[in-house]
C-alpha cells in the first residue's frame, strides 16, 4: 500500500477517477430525486453524467499504466517553480476571461482567452491559433444559443 502512495501517477489517476465517480453518484442521486420525472436523456443531469464518465476514463488512463509499471513517454517534467508559474498564468487567464466577458461578451472574450491560452501552451502557427480561437466560440454560440436555445453567459 505504501508503494502505491509513492507512485505519484497512480495516486493522480486514482484521485481523478474517484472525483469522476463522486460526480457520477451525485448526478445520479440528483436525477433520481428530481421533482418532475423526465426521461434521463432529457434530464439536466445528463451532461454532468457524461462528464463524470469522461473523467473516470481519464483517471483510468492515468492509473492503469502507472499500476502495471509503464513509464510515461517523453516525460518533460519542469521544476516545481515552473509548474507553479504555469498554474498562476492559467489562473490569471481565467480571471481575465471573466473580466473581458463582462465587458465585451461571450464571443470576443472566449476568442481572446483561447488565443492567449493556446499560445501560452506552445502553439505558434497563426493558421492554427486564429481559426481555432475564432471558430470555437462562434460554433458554441450556434450550437447552444441558436440550435438548442440554451442561454450562454
- Report helix, strand or coil for 1: coil
The domain of 31 spans: 2-68
Q: Say how far apart CA 16 and CA 22 lie, in whole Å.
A: 10
Q: Domain boundary residue among 68, 88, 104? A: 68
Residues 86 and 62 in one domain: no
Predicted confidence band of residue 22 (pLDDT cuts 50, 70, 90):
very high
Check residue 5 and give its pLDDT.
Answer: 66
For a pLDDT cut of 70, what percent of the chain falls above it?
A: 82
C-alpha grid cell for residue 113? Answer: 482567452
Q: Are 24 and 71 in contact (CB under 8 A)?
A: no
The dihedral through the CA atoms of 100, 104, 105, 108 has a sign that is negative
- Residue 152 in any domain: the answer is no
Q: What is the dihedral of CA 73, 74, 80, 83, to 10 degrees?
A: -90
In this structure, are 93 and 130 located in the same domain? yes
Give the number of domains in the chain: 2
In this prediction, residue 76 has a pLDDT band, given cuts at 50, 70 and 90, of very low
In a domain, 73, yes or no: no
Higher-scoring residue by pLDDT: 146, 53 = 53
* 99 occurs within a structural domain: yes
Instruction: Confirm if 59 and 14 have CB atoms less than 8 A apart.
Output: yes
Q: Rounded to two decimals, what is the model's pTM? A: 0.51
Amino acid at each position: 500500500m505504501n508503494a502505491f502512495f509513492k507512485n505519484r501517477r497512480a495516486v493522480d489517476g486514482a484521485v481523478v477517477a474517484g472525483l469522476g465517480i463522486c460526480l457520477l453518484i451525485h448526478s445520479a442521486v440528483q436525477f433520481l430525486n428530481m421533482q418532475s420525472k423526465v426521461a434521463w436523456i432529457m434530464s439536466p443531469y445528463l451532461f454532468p453524467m457524461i462528464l463524470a464518465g469522461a473523467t473516470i476514463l481519464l483517471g483510468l488512463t492515468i492509473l492503469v499504466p502507472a499500476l502495471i509499471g509503464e513509464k510515461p513517454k517523453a516525460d518533460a517534467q519542469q521544476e516545481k517553480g515552473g509548474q507553479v508559474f504555469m498554474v498562476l498564468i492559467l489562473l490569471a487567464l481565467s480571471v481575465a476571461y471573466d473580466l473581458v466577458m463582462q465587458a465585451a461578451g461571450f464571443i470576443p472574450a472566449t476568442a481572446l482567452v483561447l488565443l492567449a491560452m493556446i499560445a501560452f501552451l506552445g502553439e505558434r502557427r497563426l493558421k492554427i491559433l486564429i481559426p481555432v480561437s475564432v471558430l470555437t466560440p462562434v460554433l458554441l454560440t450556434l450550437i447552444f444559443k441558436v440550435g438548442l436555445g440554451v442561454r450562454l453567459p
